[in-house]
C-alpha cells in the first residue's frame, strides 16, 4: 500500500475523516475479488478558503471551496493606489467581504486566507515582505491583514504557490518536474516537483527563481532591476507594449491600462503588421529564456501562466515552441512539453488558496480553532 499503513489503520483514518465531514462515500466499484470497493470523494462544502493575488496591475480575491472549486471572485485595479501597503490591505479586506457575501459565507468561518506576493516572504514572527517590483521593503503585510481579518492568514511568493496549484489541478498534473512561467508586468518562474508521498505534500514542493532577471543580451536595454538585457525587459507586458509603440506603423491604443492594451495588441496581431511583428519577437525572446531553463533544470513540462501568459499564450505558443526546439539541447527538448496554464484568470489567486488548504491537510483535516 502506497501509504505504508495497514488496511485496518486506513479504515480507521477514513472513518474519522467521514465523521469529521472531510470526505464522503461516492459509490462502489467492482474489485477483482472479494467485496466491492468504496469510492471516496473530498467534500467541497467542508469549508471555504480565500486566495489573494497581489499584482502590479490588480488585486484579485477568490473564494474557493475545499476542493479548490471557484465560488466567487473580485478584482480591483491598483492604478490609483500606487501600491501603498495600507491601500492594498484595504482592497484585500474589501475583496474578502465581497466574495463571501456573494456566496453567503461568513468571513469568520473561513478555513484561512492565502496571499501570493511578487517577492520574497521573510520567515519569522512577522513574515516581512520584500517586493522590489512593488517598492516594498520589509513590509509586515501578514500582521497588517491579521489586524483586519479574523481568520488565519498565510503568505508566500505568488509564482511558488501557482506552481503548486498547477501540479495539483492544472497543466502540471502527472508531470515529474514542472517549470511554471509566470508572465505579467514582471516575469518569474517556479520549479515544482511532484511529491512522492503524502508527507512530501506538507513540505516544500515548489521553489522560485528570478528568471526574469537572467540576462539574455549583455549589451541590451536597461531593466528596472538596474541591470541590462534582462529577460523581463523584453517579454514583460509593459516592455511588449513599449516595443509596439516604438514602431513606425504602430497606432495608438484605444484602451487604458496594461492588461486591456495587451489584449488589444494580441487582437491586432491576427493581421500582418506591427503588432504581429512584436509578438513574433516576444515569442523568440521568451523561447530563448525557456530554453535556458530547460538546459539548466531538465523539466518534463513547461507551463506558460499568469495574466499576460493567458493573454499572449494562444497567439505565441507555436513560435515559442519552435524557438525552444532550435535552442534547447535536443535530448532535453525531446522530453519536454510546453503548454498553456489551465487554471483560468484566477490562477494566481487559486495558487494562494492552496496555502490554507495545506495547513488543514497537515492538521489531519482539523479546522483552525
- Window from 94-98, 146-150, 193-197 with minimum mean pLDDT: 193-197
Task: Spell out the domains of the chain, with CATH numbers in brackets.
Answer: 7-42 (no CATH), 47-161+347-362 (3.30.420.40), 171-340 (3.30.420.40)
Query: What is the percent of the chain where pLDDT is above 90?
Result: 56
Instruction: Give the alpha-carbon dihedral of 359, 363, 365, 367, to 10 degrees.
Output: -70
- The pLDDT value recorded for residue 121 is 87
Q: Which three cell numbers stand for residue 338?
A: 510546453
Considering 48-52, 77-81, 118-122, 184-188, the range whose residues carry the highest mean pLDDT is 48-52
Task: Kindly report, residue by residue over 167-221, the tens digit of the pLDDT.
Answer: 888 888 888 899 999 999 989 898 888 765 444 544 435 567 789 999 999 999 9
- The pLDDT value recorded for residue 131 is 86
d(CA 108, CA 114): 15
- The pLDDT value recorded for residue 41 is 67
Task: Kindly report, residue by residue over 222-261, the tens digit of the pLDDT.
Answer: 998 889 999 999 999 999 999 999 999 999 999 998 999 9
d(CA 265, CA 311): 10
Confidence band, pLDDT 50/70/90 cuts, at residue 14: low
**pLDDT average, residue stretch 306-326:** 96
- The pLDDT value recorded for residue 1 is 46
Contact predicate 161/206, CB 8 Å:
yes
The three-state DSSP-derived secondary structure of the chain is CCCCCCHHHHHHHHHHHHHCCCEEEEEEECCCCCCCEEEEEECHHHCEEEEEEECCCEEEEEEEECCCCEEEEEEEECCCCCCCHHHHHHHHHHHHHHHHHHHCCCHHHCCEEEEEECCEEECCCCCEEEEHHHCEEEECHHHHHHHHCCCCEEEEEHHHHHHHHHHHHCCCCCCCEEEEEEECCCEEEEEEECCCCHHHHCCCCEEEECHHHCECCCCCCECCCCCECECHHHHCHHHHHHHHHHCCCCCCCCCCCHHHHHHHHHHHCCCCCHHHHHHHHHHHHHHHHHHHHHHHHCCCEEEEEHHHHHHHHHHHHHHHHHHHHHHCCHHHHCCCEEEECCCCCCHHHHHHHHHHHHHHHHCCCCCCC
pLDDT, averaged across the chain: 86
Task: Kindly report, residue by residue over 113-146, the tens digit of the pLDDT.
Answer: 999 998 888 887 778 998 887 889 999 999 999 9
- The pLDDT value recorded for residue 201 is 47
Q: Which tops the pLDDT comparison, 38 or 286?
A: 286
340: pLDDT strictly greater than 70: yes
- The pLDDT value recorded for residue 95 is 95
- The pLDDT value recorded for residue 115 is 95
- Enumerate residues 6+ apart whose C-beta is below 8 A from 18: 24, 25
Amino acid at each position: 500500500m502506497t501509504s505504508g499503513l495497514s488496511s485496518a489503520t486506513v479504515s480507521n483514518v477514513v472513518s474519522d475523516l467521514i465523521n469529521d465531514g472531510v470526505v464522503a462515500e461516492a459509490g462502489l466499484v467492482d474489485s477483482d475479488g472479494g467485496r466491492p470497493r468504496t469510492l471516496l470523494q473530498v467534500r467541497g462544502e467542508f469549508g471555504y478558503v480565500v486566495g489573494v493575488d497581489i499584482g502590479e496591475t490588480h488585486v484579485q480575491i477568490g473564494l474557493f471551496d475545499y476542493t479548490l472549486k471557484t465560488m466567487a471572485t473580485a478584482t480591483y485595479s491598483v492604478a490609483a493606489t500606487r501600491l501603498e501597503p495600507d491601500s492594498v490591505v484595504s482592497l484585500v479586506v474589501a475583496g474578502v467581504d465581497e466574495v463571501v457575501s456573494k456566496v453567503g459565507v461568513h468571513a469568520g468561518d473561513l478555513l484561512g486566507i492565502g496571499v501570493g506576493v511578487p517577492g520574497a516572504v521573510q520567515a519569522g514572527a512577522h513574515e516581512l515582505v520584500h517586493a522590489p517590483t512593488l517598492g516594498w521593503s520589509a513590509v509586515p503585510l501578514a500582521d497588517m491583514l491579521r489586524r483586519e481579518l479574523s481568520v488565519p492568514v498565510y503568505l508566500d511568493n505568488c509564482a511558488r504557490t501557482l506552481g503548486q496549484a498547477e501540479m495539483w489541478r492544472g497543466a502540471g498534473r502527472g508531470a515529474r518536474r514542472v517549470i511554471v512561467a509566470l508572465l505579467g508586468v514582471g516575469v518569474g518562474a517556479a520549479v515544482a516537483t511532484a511529491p512522492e508521498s503524502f508527507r512530501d505534500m506538507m513540505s516544500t514542493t515548489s521553489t522560485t527563481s528570478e528568471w526574469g532577471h537572467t540576462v539574455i543580451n549583455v549589451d541590451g536595454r536597461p531593466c528596472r532591476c538596474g541591470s541590462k538585457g534582462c529577460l523581463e525587459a523584453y517579454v514583460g507586458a509593459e516592455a511588449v507594449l513599449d516595443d509596439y509603440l516604438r514602431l513606425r506603423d504602430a497606432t495608438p491604443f484605444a484602451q487604458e491600462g496594461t492588461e486591456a492594451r495587451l489584449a488589444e495588441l494580441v487582437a491586432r496581431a491576427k493581421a500582418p503588421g506591427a503588432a504581429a511583428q512584436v509578438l513574433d519577437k516576444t515569442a523568440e525572446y521568451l523561447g530563448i529564456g525557456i530554453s535556458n531553463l530547460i538546459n539548466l533544470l531538465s523539466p518534463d513540462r513547461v507551463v506558460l501562466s499568469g495574466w499576460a501568459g493567458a493573454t499572449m499564450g494562444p497567439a505565441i505558443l507555436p513560435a515559442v515552441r519552435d524557438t525552444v526546439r532550435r535552442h534547447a539541447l535536443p535530448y532535453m527538448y525531446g522530453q519536454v512539453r510546453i503548454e498553456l496554464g489551465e487554471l483560468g484568470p484566477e490562477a494566481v489567486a487559486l495558487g494562494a488558496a492552496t496555502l490554507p488548504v495545506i495547513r488543514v491537510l497537515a492538521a489531519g483535516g482539523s479546522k483552525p480553532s
